[in-house]
Structure 1
């Protein structure tokens, strides 16, 4: 009976003109978003390769100079991306994608493309994730709101129930139809994920699977809530108004409200203020005292009275000590800022218990490696590379500077000792603890809506008995 009911509902849906043109618009928007996202991803990936190669050549061909001058000369590194970023660009436009690695300072990422956009363009962009998270639920509502409510209005619902149709099978057939229709729009996404698995040297199997599974659950949730309210409310008009209100609240209003609450509970200063704080806490009298203490300890260790008598170049040793002194302060201040940002993220994820949009949005960005946690992983790796650079350069100055007559200079042989920066994101299992709340939220919504569906089926049985 379930199969025949599903077939009947499928034929009824096909006869409705609104389903065809709504589906056509949705398919067109999704394909346009996928093509745009893929082209953008390809352009970005090409730029990453070109900038990385040119920066490495610039570093190697900087000519002869002192190691410390080379440390200030610095190098730029670019954040890599994953194929899934073509489907969800997440926070990429707001986090920056280039880091300058140089002596004495830990920089923030540069070139946030959102800063260069026109103000009107910041209200949203047409990405596959936007279509799937915002527009596709709206399509489910427009197709599914009359499934049971209109049959009640026309009197056919009682006839079906009186003829022996099972309320549960009728409900789930209509819900299954709605879910099947919505899943058809995931086919381009699934094909792209399959293509990315074969076209990339490092497959992102777990990321792709969780990305697709998150959206399948999300579409199932909207199919359940649409069918349930169509079953519970007396008229199709009331079902439509109620569903549109829920859609607007959960996908448009609640996310912005949740983010405002998160930033209010865990306020964070501007990047300029933070950089100023770094400099003010590093370059203090305490630093000068620490350097002087290091000097006296070094002289005492080697039993000499002046640095000129040391068996190495003291300037290189002092520079490395200064780097290590500053690194401790950097670690403390960046850790405090990271804790604040993590608190904002966790607070925002908690709002996923109020709207599944936040849960799927968080998991979508996470699997695409376009969220805050992946940005932080890249910046931490870049910082470790910066410290390696300073260590190699300062130790070279320490070990060879005292042997030179006059100013000591190094060349390409030293620059080659610093490996090229190459970064790949860790496996997604490494990040899972960051997204426990979002995973729980999706499960919570699934349980709530299944229970609500059972309640709606019970109401249908009572309607059958009247």
Structure 2
């Protein structure tokens, strides 16, 4: 009986002229978005690889100079992207994916792409994530809103139920048809996810991320399919169901995410990048720093039982530079830690709003699997900072151990520059950061359960339809 009901619903859906036009438009939009996303990813990866190679060559070919001069000479490192960024670039354009590593300073991400765009250009970008998160639910409700309500208006619904069709089977058949049509629109995404599995260095990590990415969106399609059919079943007319569904769509995809973002930034305000850098300088270069350096000097003189730094068995300037770096690093850790807590509070507040909007949960998980969100960016910044500290330690120790052996100004050469390994960012496995997204997983599951409960209520109401 269920098979016959399913076949009937499929034939009814095929007769809807607007179904094919809507599906074609959505497929073309998603295909176009995937194509442009892939091109952007390829361009970014090519630029990142070229910049990394040029920076490494610039570092190695800087010539002979003092180790501390080389520390100030510095090097730029750039964050690589996963292939999933082509589907969801997340915060890539807003975070700044290039970091300068140099002495005495811990820099933040720079060269944010969004700063180079005209304001109107920010509203004209068409990404697969936007199509999947905003336009796909709209398409689902436009296809599914008349599935029950139109039959009720035409009087065929009572005839179906009176003929012995089980309300649950009818409801499930309509849900399955709408879900199948909507899931078919994910075909460009599925093809891309399969395509990127070939020719990658870490296939296992990428495969797990791709599977998670797909599961999030297939759940999103199921969620909207059930809600659409349930609302069409509960409301008496197609017009009412369309208005109700459009209201739910507008609230969950447009209004609530915007309000949640504004609320998070208002409740947990953050200093500008320039103000934060000024604070770093104010708190590092103080009288306390000079006093700490003097105590360090006196401790060395006492330890080696000498009266002058010239009598030490190593170069005091190199030791002093390294102590200064460690002193500043402790302050950097504190101040950056405080700002990270503020950013984490903003993020947690926004994540909590996923209880009110399933799109926030899907958006957050989508960026997480694409490694284009806040937490993955912080992981990159942490590795870049560890590399910077390693650079300073190697350079300062070299000056400490060798400068006192030379008369005049000590200079290093290529042999020292080669001791600094090339920065190779090691992306984290998703499981290492999964604890940050517990609220989003909980919200998505909760929304799925809520949609099933709504569907159950609609089926119970449907059993009384012939009695009206």
Structure 1 residue 449 displacement after superposition:
0.8
CA RMSD in angstroms comes to: 0.8
Q: Which residue of 2 aligns with 1:160?
A: 160
Distance 1:464 1:340 in 2: 58
Residues 250-308 of structure 1 deviation map (CA, whole Å, 9 limit, x = unaligned): 10111010011111121111111111110100000000000001000011111111111
Structure 1 residue 123 displacement after superposition:
2.7
Structure 1 gaps of 5+ residues are none
What aligned pairs does 1:347-386 form with structure 2 within 5 A after superposition? 347-386=349-388
Contact kept, 8 Å, 1:9 with 1:177, in 2: the verdict is yes
| 2:246 pairs with one of 218, 226, 244 | 244
SS of structure 2 residue aligned to 1:300:
helix
Q: Which residue of 2 aligns with 1:91?
A: 91
Residues 217-249 of structure 1 deviation map (CA, whole Å, 9 limit, x = unaligned): 111110011000000000001100111111111
Distance 1:236 1:124 in 2: 32
Q: Which residue of 2 aligns with 1:109?
A: 109
Moved over 2 A (4+): none
Distance 1:361 1:199 in 2: 28
SS of structure 2 residue aligned to 1:108:
coil
Contact kept, 8 Å, 1:80 with 1:424, in 2: the verdict is no
Distance 1:296 1:35 in 2: 64
Compute the TM-score of the two structures, normalised by the length of structure 2.
0.99
Structure 1 residue 199 displacement after superposition:
2.5
Q: Which residue of 1 aligns with 2:431?
A: 429
Q: Which residue of 2 aligns with 1:28?
A: 28
Structure 1 residue 113 displacement after superposition:
0.5
Q: Which residue of 1 aligns with 2:456?
A: 454
Distance 2:269 2:208 in 1: 34
1:337 is aligned to 2:339: yes
Residues 168-221 of structure 1 deviation map (CA, whole Å, 9 limit, x = unaligned): 010110011111111001111111111111221112122111100000111111
SS of structure 1 residue aligned to 2:77:
strand
Structure 1 residue 60 displacement after superposition:
0.3
Distance 1:181 1:376 in 2: 39
What aligned pairs does 1:210-249 form with structure 2 within 5 A after superposition? 210-249=212-251
Structure 1 residue 10 displacement after superposition:
1.3
Q: Which residue of 2 aligns with 1:264?
A: 266
Structure 2 gaps of 5+ residues are none
| 2:276 pairs with one of 274, 277, 281 | 274
State how many pairs are aligned. Answer: 466
Q: Which residue of 1 aligns with 2:442?
A: 440
SS of structure 1 residue aligned to 2:101:
strand
Structure 1 residue 164 displacement after superposition:
0.5
Distance 2:4 2:39 in 1: 44
Q: Which residue of 2 aligns with 1:45?
A: 45
SS of structure 2 residue aligned to 1:100:
strand
Distance 2:457 2:241 in 1: 17
Distance 2:239 2:329 in 1: 63
